[in-house]
Amino acid sequence: AKVHHHNFVVQATPVKRLCKIHKIITVNGMYPGPTLEVQNGDTLVVNVVNKARYNVTIHWHGVRQIRTGWADGPEFVTQCPIRPGKSYTYRFTIQGQEGTLWWHAHSSWLRATVYGALIIRPKEGESYPFPKPKHETALLLGEWWNKNPIDVVRQATRTGAAPNVSDAYTINGQPGDRYNCSGKDTLIVPIDSGETNLLRVVNSALNQQLFFKVAKHKFTVVGADASYVKPFTTSVLMLGPGQTTDVLITADQPPAKYYIAAQAYASAQGAPFDNTTTTAILEYKSASCSAKCNSTKPHMPRMPAFNDTATATSFTTKFRSPRKVQVPTKIDHNLFFAVGLGLNNCPRGVSRSRCQGPNGTRFTASMNNVSFVLPSNFSMLQAHQQGIPGVFTTDFPANPPRKFDYTGNVSRSLWQPITGTKVYRLKYGETVQLVLQGTSIFTAENHPIHLHGYDFYILAEGFGNFNPSRDTAKFNLVDPPLRNTASLPVGGWTVIRFVADNPGVWLLHCHLDVHITWGLAMAFVVENGVGELQTLEPPPADHPVC
């Protein structure tokens, strides 16, 4: 196995998008940032130097970080931020994961522009479980704001209002030729007739689930979240932010240009979203393609409607592990988390007129009625490891405070979240079953729920209220997919299982950043087990403290 050294300089960089020059925060002046390419078993050593005027941290999304929680990255959870002028070296090893992951800033809304791909190939002498494609292309779907995204979120938290939606979607940082001033920079993906390309599709958008298609072509899905899946064909993908999907695409159409396109899947009723379409071009390079076929306009795929939940769900429920897996059957913690948006009173001391959510309220979000607040004096991991009191409490509830029709139209007086930094404790090796239940206190919405430090099996998903006596029968205990981010369907539920075999403090949150801003998060504290291999490593010497 190799050790890969990288230097990430976080800095302000001028880039031109949608006709104007903007100063954005980048890594090494690149947008998106550098692609990291490794093999399963390799070690990454990434020195992050902060030359920007914001605090920053980097999260290696989906990397298990076994015993190396200090390198996970979410600010105030596993580390204090890297202050301007300071640096921190992340050091971790890829263990048993293959496919596509990505890295992103985990500090305020910086990940809008600070992100990149992490490609993990099989070990030396091992191969993909599918014929080796001629080409591989990472496609990072993103979201672009003409305003500084940090200002967008600051404005929203000051007023309690919903933040502005983005001005464009992007593929590898480019909006594509359907936007003003963007045509000549549209990403071109060349292909020869008959060739196969492995597309590594990442949804790195901040706040939007996205449909993804290529005109007239089908995909064979072979992986997701750095686990292989039982291959299946589809003409449309849907990815929530945080999710990755690896697909094979074969150039089996007449030589021409075909749009690669992504646009919103906005499941919430009345929720504002960017309704534009980002495009790249799949361009046949075959000698058979005369000057004419490349001068004509690209074919455009027919995209699903923005609220096409049937298409989204039929895609997300197709995933299976490639073969039978050992799903843990003895459950130590049977948890039920009600997950959703809500409205709350203005904070004490803030006048009603400054609270710009509906009817003088502010937007909030919670799990089991707790709206998560980050600490500010210590990271939770440091507090856990050193036994520092007062940073978090261990009373995150295993169940919601009361039971009602979660997907029905209930009055918000039934449920107003409290705020807190609450964790749920697990002993090393314990097994967790977690039912994620969407609520519609304010509005029902999909939530891409991401767990740090783990992959989990998705046993089942469905609509309405989870009903154990009816729905347990639907659990796939044979070949459920292994993922790090689950799409909790709008007005529905998802059931996941994992074994707590990685000691540390691990965030569970909705990967729509606006929902984290509103508090849609909690954390698991996983205790050390017995012996070195079950114990969190000591923090690196340069680990940032507050």
DSSP type of residue 85: T
- The amino acid occupying position 209 is Q
Q: How far is CA 37 from CA 121, 124, 453, 469, in A?
A: 8, 14, 20, 46
Should residue 104 be labelled a site residue for ligand C2O when binding is judged by CB under 6 A? Answer: yes
Should residue 375 be labelled a site residue for ligand C2O when binding is judged by CB under 6 A? Answer: no
- The amino acid occupying position 320 is R
Stretch that binds ligand C2O, among 5-13, 85-93, 331-339, 503-511 (CB under 6 A): 503-511
Least separation, in Å, of the C-beta of 436 and ligand C2O? 16
CA 92 to CA 88: how far, in whole Å? Answer: 13
Residue nearest ligand C2O (C-beta atom): 61
Least separation, in Å, of the C-beta of 271 and ligand C2O? 21
Least separation, in Å, of the C-beta of 479 and ligand C2O? 26
- Please give the torsion angle defined by the CA atoms of residues 211, 183, 31 and 143, in that order, rounded to the nearest 10 degrees: -30
Should residue 33 be labelled a site residue for ligand C2O when binding is judged by CB under 6 A? Answer: no
Torsion angles phi and psi, residue 338, rounded to 5? -85, 125
Which position among 156, 507, 514, 536 is part of the footprint of ligand C2O (CB under 6 A)?
Answer: 507
CA 519 to CA 513: how far, in whole Å? Answer: 10
Nearer to ligand C2O, 74 or 480 (CB): 74
Which position among 32, 41, 69, 74 is part of the footprint of ligand C2O (CB under 6 A)?
Answer: 74
Should residue 483 be labelled a site residue for ligand C2O when binding is judged by CB under 6 A? Answer: no
- The answer to whether 423 and 523 have CB atoms below 8 angstroms apart is yes
Which position among 450, 483, 515, 543 is part of the footprint of ligand C2O (CB under 6 A)?
Answer: 450
Should residue 460 be labelled a site residue for ligand C2O when binding is judged by CB under 6 A? Answer: no
Nearer to ligand C2O, 336 or 372 (CB): 372
Should residue 64 be labelled a site residue for ligand C2O when binding is judged by CB under 6 A? Answer: no
Contacting ligand C2O within 220-249 (CB under 6 A)? 242
Q: How far is CA 352 from CA 152, 159, 284, 346, in A?
A: 21, 10, 58, 6
Stretch that binds ligand C2O, among 249-257, 287-295, 389-397, 506-514 (CB under 6 A): 506-514
CA 529 to CA 531: how far, in whole Å? Answer: 7
Instruction: For the chain, state the CA radius of gyration.
Output: 22
- The answer to whether 422 and 393 have CB atoms below 8 angstroms apart is yes
Token digits of residue 217 = 């072509």
Token digits of residue 81 = 């931020």
Least separation, in Å, of the C-beta of 61 and ligand C2O? 4
Least separation, in Å, of the C-beta of 22 and ligand C2O? 24
Should residue 447 be labelled a site residue for ligand C2O when binding is judged by CB under 6 A? Answer: no
Express the helix, strand and coil content of the chain in percent, nearest 5 each: 10, 40, 50
Q: What is the 3-state secondary structure (H, E, C) of 236-292?
A: CEEECCCCEEEEEEECCCCCCEEEEEEEECCCCCCCCCCCCEEEEEEEECCCCCCHH
Should residue 206 be labelled a site residue for ligand C2O when binding is judged by CB under 6 A? Answer: no
Contacting ligand C2O within 246-305 (CB under 6 A)? none
Stretch that binds ligand C2O, among 119-127, 183-191, 271-279, 505-513 (CB under 6 A): 505-513
Stretch that binds ligand C2O, among 36-44, 144-152, 171-179, 504-512 (CB under 6 A): 504-512
Nearer to ligand C2O, 127 or 376 (CB): 376
Instruction: Kindly state the number of chain residues that form the binding site for ligand C2O, as judged by CB under 6 A.
Output: 11
Should residue 59 be labelled a site residue for ligand C2O when binding is judged by CB under 6 A? Answer: yes
- The answer to whether 303 and 287 have CB atoms below 8 angstroms apart is no
- The amino acid occupying position 311 is T
Spatial neighbors of 392 by CB under 8 A, at least 6 apart, are 375, 380, 383, 384, 421, 422, 423, 523
Least separation, in Å, of the C-beta of 481 and ligand C2O? 18
Which position among 64, 106, 515, 543 is part of the footprint of ligand C2O (CB under 6 A)?
Answer: 106
Q: Which residues bind ligand C2O (CB under 6 A)?
A: 59, 61, 74, 104, 106, 242, 450, 452, 507, 509, 511
